[in-house]
Chain A
Amino acid sequence: MIPIALAELRMLVRNRLVLFCAVLIPLAFGAFLILNDTGTGGAGAIATLQITIMIAMGVYVSGTTTLAARRQTLMLKRMRSGAISDGAILTGLVVPLVVVSVIQIALVLSILSFTAGAPANAVLLIIAVLLTEVMFVGFALATAGVTNSPEHAQVTTLPLFFATIAIAFWVMTTGTAELTWVKRLLPGGGIAELIGAAWNGGASVDLLALLLPSVVWVIAAMYFARTMFKWEPRA
């Protein structure tokens, strides 16, 4: 896994377009949200949107694009000619994107903490970020299965990308007092509420009610990944 991850990191740095999309744009969005804070939803809302957008762009879109590119060039098949498992190959391919994403989020949330105060429950926040990362990795693998090329990824990632961001925005701006379980069960809804609760704290929160939908969507994403991902162009 490690040689693949190091090679991917090397390629990430060498490909200016991928570097721009995976690193700079998510950071720019994160900064934009901080600079344009209108007060709606508080710091928790900003953190939710930052995390959702940055992972959706940096992991989901970039991951789908990368996996489609590796399949199209038959590099996935080439790697499957070696002695390592499919899991190790895929982990090596996505780990650099996740690591970059986590560093970006840590940076942006650190700045947010400085400007708006630290999160109420940092441990829960970390869990929420990790669940979001894993969920979007699963979505990236699944979407890559229906994506023919890196160019095609610009289209295939749009529905889920906008849906998850819209759901996160809806949850953070309207709260979960009404339509609670509808919002929680939508993809990204439960996680958005979890992030908000981790940052804002406040009244006692039913952690199980927050974690369960998030975990369900992580499992669902991995199930879709397993059934939809393709290793070869004509598989």
Chain B
Amino acid sequence: MTRTQQNTVPDAAGAATAGTIVEVTDLAYNYGAHGEFAAVKGLNLQVRRGELYALLGTNGAGKTTTLETIEGHRSPTSGTVTVFGATPTDRRSIRPRIGIMLQETGYAADLTAIETLQLVGAISGRNDDAERVLAKINLSDKRDTRVSQLSGGQRRRLDFGSAIWGTPELLFLDEPTTGLDPMARDSLWDVVAQLRQAGTTIILTTHYLEEAEKYADRIGLMHNGILAREGTLDELVDGHPSRISFVAPANAALPLPAEVNATGRSVVETTQLQQDLTALLLWAQAGGHTLEHLTATSSSLDDVFRTLTHTDTL
């Protein structure tokens, strides 16, 4: 996916780097009456205009705390956060430019879908048409249905509609597809693609690694309150081995080193997938061997994630 760098529209004084609209420096956030629990410890990141930045991590890694601090819901315990060159808690100047989809829905049960959008839109600082947004999130048929009668997935779509109201310059999506069926998920990502074409910058948190792999320009991996790894998908998976898995023929000497896993399959880890797979297939052909249940899997974000959490790497 091509990342488009756009010239900076002049923001409030202090936008340190051309193209950077979110700048986090040594961010720390502590919970507790005496700050005894450090949820975020010395985090640094930048988000560039026009990109989709995915912030991933284990449960309790500090993703939502980080996101909410950048959104301006919280003030950092220490460190600095700027959005469009200004403090994100400056609601009046920043919020008209950003849309926020929170991790959990927060709407009044007795308002209808369209009334909810109109209310949220009225306090967003941006203009839009509620019917247009309802159509975008495929809830036109639920226009006059009260929120209490919407399903969980429909409420989540209403959340999304609230966030994209008025086509914000910067969009925060905190686990946007949780609770959505596959079709609703695809529909959401279609809208996200349209927003990106319009120039919207997006910060995403998600537990669905495939979404980050597919859509993110850059990925940050948080673990234990710090940003443990950061980069493009290729940069992150570089150096992580791919795997060739199969049921080895009995009493055959394999041409490559392999380990047998708990299910009895032989697994070859390799950083030269094509070369080693070719060698294995040629060996099997030459010796008349059958490699049952053969699979070849490239290294993935899942591997990086699991390595991070298993080794507790900093």
Contacts and interface: CB of A to CB of B under 8 A. Distances in A.
Interface of A: 3-4, 7, 10-11, 14-15, 70, 73-85, 89
Contact of A10 (B73, B95, B115): B115
Nearest to A71: B106
Interface in B86-130: 91-92, 95-96, 100, 102, 104-111, 115, 118-120, 122-125
B91 A11 contact: no
A90 to B, nearest CB: 13
B104 A74 contact: yes
Nearest to B116: A7
Given A77-B102, A78-B120, A79-B123, A15 B96 contact: no
Given A81-B71, A81-B95, A11 B110 contact: yes
Interface of A is mostly: helix
Contact of A73 (B106, B119, B123): B106
Contacts of A83: 91-92, 95-96, 123-125
6 contacts: A7-B111, A10-B111, A77-B102, A78-B106, A80-B73, A81-B95
Interface residues of B, number: 25
Given A81-B100, A82-B124, A73 B95 contact: no
Nearest to A74: B106
Contacts, number: 65
B73 A82 contact: no
Given A3-B119, A77-B73, A83-B124, A70 B102 contact: no
Contact of A74 (B102, B111, B124): B102
A14 B123 contact: no
Contacts of B91: 82-85
A11 B104 contact: no
Nearest to A79: B123
Contacts of B102: 74, 77-78, 81
A226 B230 CA distance: 41
Contacts of B96: 83
B150 to A, nearest CB: 13
A85 B100 contact: no
A80 B106 CA distance: 11
Contacts of B108: 7, 11, 70, 73, 75
